[in-house]
Chain A
Amino acid sequence: MFVALCAVFFLLFGNLVRLQAFKGDYYYRLSESNRIRIVPKRAPRGRILDRQGKILVTNRPTYSISIIPFEFRKTPEILIRLENLIEITEDDLDRAIEKGGLTRYSPVPVKRQVDFETVSILQEHILDYPGVIYEIDPVRVYPWRSHAAHALGYIGEISIPELRANYTRGYKAGDLVGKMGIEKAYDWYLRGKDGAEYLEVRVSGEVVGPVEGRTNIPAIPGADIVTTLDVELQAYAETLMTWVNAGVFIALDPRNGEIYSMVSRPSFDLELFTSTITDSIWQLLNDPIAHPLLNRSTQGTYPPASTFKLITAMGAVDEGVANANTRLEACHGSIWYGDRWFRCWNRRGHGEIDLVDAISQSCDVYFYQLVLYLGLDKWSELAKDNGFAKKTGIDIPPEATGFIPDRDYFNERYGGRSGWGNGVLLNLCIGQGEVLVTPIQLIQHFAAIANGGTIFAPRVVREIRPPMNRSLVVEPTINGQLPASPEALRICNEAMIDAVNAPLGTGVWAQLPDILIAGKTGTAQNPHGEDHAWFVCYAPADNPRVVVLLLVEQGGSGGAWAHLARDYIWYFCNIWEPRAS
């Protein structure tokens, strides 16, 4: 035992001899006159590209001025010099140093985007500014300004809670991190890894050179993110949406959930975030009503209105309650149930019609009768199995969950079974009442109907391309299968073709002569004003390659906006696809 112990001591002793006797001179020099400064080499943030590899977000180099707290001396003269150089007060300085408080040895940026002239002055008089250094600091460039702003997101200086949460992952004070969208969700890949340079520095602040025996750690640039978005399609969608004050436009590939375009209005200019934001702009961005920073496609919840009828239709077909030709009691514009009249949107009534016509003409009275065959429990189970009331798992959180009421909810809300009647179900089946969905859930649902029943999670990222390693291709995520038989899907498809192409269809504004479009309108009651307009469609109806969802807040009738979706599909099929292939 004692021999083993001696061996360990001998190793320790040998190492001390190496450090103190052999390399002692070198360390002595370092300790007496000079010190080691470790300067981080900021890794350039990865770019964000569209599906064709065109640039959506990139960088441009600028300079930033940082101080190293333990080398910095806060004398009045130096403070005055700094104030003259970069207009920074003592308070600003203290705040910056406090933010960098986790370690005193790494530089803390105190002024970003400094011009070259200032840097030259600093370089010339560097000895007058002990502990002040400049670094190359890449800044984000958003050539498309507000296009896809919510999906792309922006970056900002790391906040103290963010720093605490991510300290172990190598995040440092002063780091720029994603605050929203892809910039946030893929921050870890985009940010790369900062390197470090070891410099021997005289006490006066003069740099002697690299440190002997220490290799610098090179910065590893961040990975490029290839999105599923397309610059052209996005621009086209943005142009269409200039007609809309507040609303959502999403187009995606039903075969895998890849999003081509995503517009949430009102939007904002991403370039605002590359320089200091003034208070008045910040107030505009946080307007409590318009809420431009909110991504309405994933965070907005709305009643889905008639777009929700397909759930009842498919359920009824699969339960054997109805088939394509089933006729129920004629619609005269309203129906008496329980203790009151339930109205159809068409006050004159639809007459006696079958299931296909009831969908294409969106007859409420027909569905009031149909859903009673299913009952509340079956209906809410179906709605949840269709992907509602749960997050789609889109790769740019946060995401709202939406809401599908069920028996437990009503019992709690109205105090037991006696407090409410089946009338609530009538409202629910036409997508009114307590039902709330996000646009992304709704388009996920329609994409599944279009592709024959597979629920693909929508996503905006296709590929992660690290600078050195092999790129990582993001595979489609399947959220499950629609609880619907092929027959039920066929009826829905037929009915949605009619909705756009039959004379009495509600979506006739979406007709195109050369492309068969299938769609469904929705008009959601809005207690705060005009109704919200929905239109969801896909094309070509026999083998869909694109699904489009349009929501216009306070847009009135859903059919009235169908032409915007039509134009997009026309552009997609006739201009974009031939060019892209």
Chain B
Amino acid sequence: MRSVDWTLLIAAILLSVIGILLIYSVSPDSKFWIRQAIYFAVGIAVMFSVWRIPMRVHYSLGWIYYAILLIILVTLLLQGGEVKRWLSIGPLSFQPSELAKLAMVFVMGRYLYDRKKDIESPKLIIGAFLLTGLPFAIVMGQPDLGTAMVFTAILITMLYTAGIGELTLFILASPFLSLISAVQWIPWAVYFIILLVILYATRSRLVVFLPVAVVNLFIGIFTPAIWRGIHEYQKERILVFLDPGRDPFGAGYQIIQSKIALGSGQFWGKGFLEGTQVNLAFLPARHTDFIFAVLGEQFGLIGCTIVLALFLIMFYRIIKIADDARNLYARIVAIGAGTILFFGATVNIGMVSGVMPVTGLPLPFISLGGTSLITSLAIIGILQNIYSHGIEGP
């Protein structure tokens, strides 16, 4: 039995400390950074506690986690009000969507592990989709597109880890690819032919071939019709999501300001606490979702590269831990939990640098926010537990 994956632990601690420093640099006079430091301390405590929980406890509690998750999400939806992402219990308030991601990983892990014998069966796949679909629909109703996308990402990576074939994964994804390529008919036609060729070349059975072809054909034909049919302002919302520049007073403004902050750091950055306050004051959500821009302004490309490298090392270790995991359940959970961190990091950095839509996902470990930081550290705890029970590498 091994004890600690030091690389993973140190990367997580470094990222959290960088977060606290950045929050301090944004507003040294406010209490934000102290709050984040306290969250960090709590998070470390949570991490060590989670570390001790054997995986079989999570396994047996899988469905209970799921039930709690659904109850919380529904409560939140019924609570009403403008922003439905916070839940208050007494003096504590937290963002349940962060915990929901983790609960989703555990329940999906148990579901797939229990059925590992017939992993390719359509029944199992439909079940996995339904399991994800329920919380997915609820968070879409909040509406919290970011979390909904994390659910989808978790589903895909966990199915893959559980042993689903690349071809099945491709077939599952094919309707979405149809949807995306159907923007214009030529790319769609090309895509559709490729799909048919792949299906043919892999000697798919007719029961698979026909429905897949028909579903794709339908989506290809009806997407443009639906697009023409929907109201102008609904189209506008989708277009603004894909291209924030179209909405210069909302999302577009944030992106412009965040790119200025990021770009102005140039290679070496302006230095710690040297960020142009005037400019940073123009950047909304600079403590939270746009903290990476603060990093970019003060520490430049060097700072950004270091943070990217820390994340990359972390994900390398997570994949290693999954590979060495003692059983399939631990492996699936490790990958699912890693997906939460990976998806959060890439989508957030992509958003801040203006190449991905504005979704409101925090940057794990770094963004201001107790729930996000504590959950991220809890994930490290889970991974450490899996590591310590893992088989020795060659």
User: Does A217 count as interface, using CB distance less than 8 angstroms?
Assistant: yes
User: Does A203 count as interface, using CB distance less than 8 angstroms?
Assistant: yes
Since A16-B304, A103-B250, A168-B233 are in contact, a sample of 14 more A-B pairs with Cβ atoms closer than 8 Å, ordered by chain A residue number, is: A5-B312, A5-B315, A5-B342, A12-B346, A16-B301, A19-B259, A19-B262, A24-B265, A27-B266, A35-B279, A35-B282, A38-B249, A172-B249, A214-B256
* Contact indicator A40/B249 (Cβ below 8 Å): yes
Which residues 238-260 in B have Cβ within 8 Å of A in the complex?
Answer: 245-250, 253, 256-257, 259-260
* Contact indicator B278/A27 (Cβ below 8 Å): no
> A20: which of B233, B246, B263, B342 is its contact (CB, 8 Å)?
B263
User: Does B236 count as interface, using CB distance less than 8 angstroms?
Assistant: yes
Q: Within the complex, what minimum Cβ distance (angstroms) separates B196 from chain A? A: 25
User: Does B350 count as interface, using CB distance less than 8 angstroms?
Assistant: yes
* Contact indicator A169/B233 (Cβ below 8 Å): yes
- Count of chain A residues near B, Cβ 8 A: 42
* Contact indicator B248/A38 (Cβ below 8 Å): yes
Which residues 187-231 in A have Cβ within 8 Å of B in the complex?
Answer: 188, 196, 198, 203, 214, 217
A-B contact pairs, 16 of them (CB 8 A): A5-B315, A9-B308, A12-B349, A16-B262, A21-B301, A27-B262, A27-B263, A27-B264, A28-B264, A31-B263, A36-B256, A38-B249, A70-B282, A105-B253, A188-B232, A196-B248
Q: Which residues of A contact B256 (CB under 8 A)?
A: 36, 214
* Contact indicator B319/A2 (Cβ below 8 Å): yes
Which residues 17-54 in A have Cβ within 8 Å of B in the complex?
Answer: 17, 19-21, 23-28, 30-32, 35-36, 38, 40
* Chain B 342-376 near chain A by CB (<8 Å), digits 1 or 0: 10001001100111000000000000000000000
Q: Within the complex, what minimum Cβ distance (angstroms) separates B173 from chain A? A: 14
User: Does A106 count as interface, using CB distance less than 8 angstroms?
Assistant: yes
Q: Which residues of A contact B176 (CB under 8 A)?
A: none
> B301: which of A2, A12, A17 is its contact (CB, 8 Å)?
A17
Residues in chain A within 8 A of chain B (CB atoms)? 1-2, 5-6, 8-9, 11-13, 15-17, 19-21, 23-28, 30-32, 35-36, 38, 40, 70, 103, 105-106, 168-170, 172, 188, 196, 198, 203, 214, 217
* Contact indicator B276/A32 (Cβ below 8 Å): yes
* Contact indicator A24/B319 (Cβ below 8 Å): no
Q: Which residues of A contact B301 (CB under 8 A)?
A: 16-17, 20-21
Q: Within the complex, what minimum Cβ distance (angstroms) separates B8 from chain A? A: 15
Q: Which residues of B contact A9 (CB under 8 A)?
A: 308, 311-312, 346
> B278: which of A2, A6, A16, A203 is its contact (CB, 8 Å)?
A203
Bound form: Cα–Cα A12–B233 in Å:
31
Q: Which residues of A contact B236 (CB under 8 A)?
A: 169-170
Asked, given contacts A31-B297, A170-B236, A203-B278, whether A12 binds B264 with beta carbons under 8 Å apart, the answer is no
A32 and chain B: residue at smallest CB distance: B276
Q: Which residues of A contact B390 (CB under 8 A)?
A: none
A17 and chain B: residue at smallest CB distance: B301
Q: Within the complex, what minimum Cβ distance (angstroms) separates A177 from chain B? A: 14
> A12: which of B263, B297, B316, B350 is its contact (CB, 8 Å)?
B350
Asked, given contacts A5-B319, A16-B304, A17-B301, whether A24 binds B282 with beta carbons under 8 Å apart, the answer is no
> A16: which of B342, B346, B353 is its contact (CB, 8 Å)?
B353
* Contact indicator B316/A2 (Cβ below 8 Å): yes
Bound form: Cα–Cα A20–B349 in Å:
14
* Contact indicator A24/B264 (Cβ below 8 Å): yes
* Contact indicator B353/A103 (Cβ below 8 Å): no
Most chain-B Cβ atoms within 10 A of its Cβ — which of A6, A9, A35, A172? A9
User: Does B300 count as interface, using CB distance less than 8 angstroms?
Assistant: yes
> B263: which of A1, A28, A40, A214 is its contact (CB, 8 Å)?
A28
Asked, given contacts A20-B267, A217-B248, whether A31 binds B233 with beta carbons under 8 Å apart, the answer is no
User: Does B115 count as interface, using CB distance less than 8 angstroms?
Assistant: no
Q: Which residues of A contact B353 (CB under 8 A)?
A: 12, 15-16, 19
Bound form: Cα–Cα A169–B237 in Å:
8
A40 and chain B: residue at smallest CB distance: B249
User: Does B296 count as interface, using CB distance less than 8 angstroms?
Assistant: yes
* Contact indicator B253/A38 (Cβ below 8 Å): yes
Asked, given contacts A13-B305, A105-B253, A203-B278, whether A20 binds B237 with beta carbons under 8 Å apart, the answer is no
* Contact indicator B282/A20 (Cβ below 8 Å): no
> A30: which of B237, B264, B312 is its contact (CB, 8 Å)?
B264
Bound form: Cα–Cα A106–B250 in Å:
9
Q: Within the complex, what minimum Cβ distance (angstroms) separates A376 from chain B? A: 44
B300 and chain A: residue at smallest CB distance: A20
Q: Which residues of B contact A21 (CB under 8 A)?
A: 266-267, 301
Bound form: Cα–Cα A106–B350 in Å:
26
B335 and chain A: residue at smallest CB distance: A1
* Contact indicator A217/B260 (Cβ below 8 Å): no
User: Does B261 count as interface, using CB distance less than 8 angstroms?
Assistant: yes
Bound form: Cα–Cα A314–B259 in Å:
74
Q: Within the complex, what minimum Cβ distance (angstroms) separates B304 from chain A? A: 5
Q: Which residues of B contact A35 (CB under 8 A)?
A: 278-279, 282
Q: Within the complex, what minimum Cβ distance (angstroms) separates B109 from chain A? A: 17
Q: Which residues of A contact B245 (CB under 8 A)?
A: 214
Q: Which residues of B contact A27 (CB under 8 A)?
A: 259-264, 266
Q: Within the complex, what minimum Cβ distance (angstroms) separates B142 from chain A? A: 15
Bound form: Cα–Cα A103–B311 in Å:
34
Q: Within the complex, what minimum Cβ distance (angstroms) separates B345 from chain A? A: 9
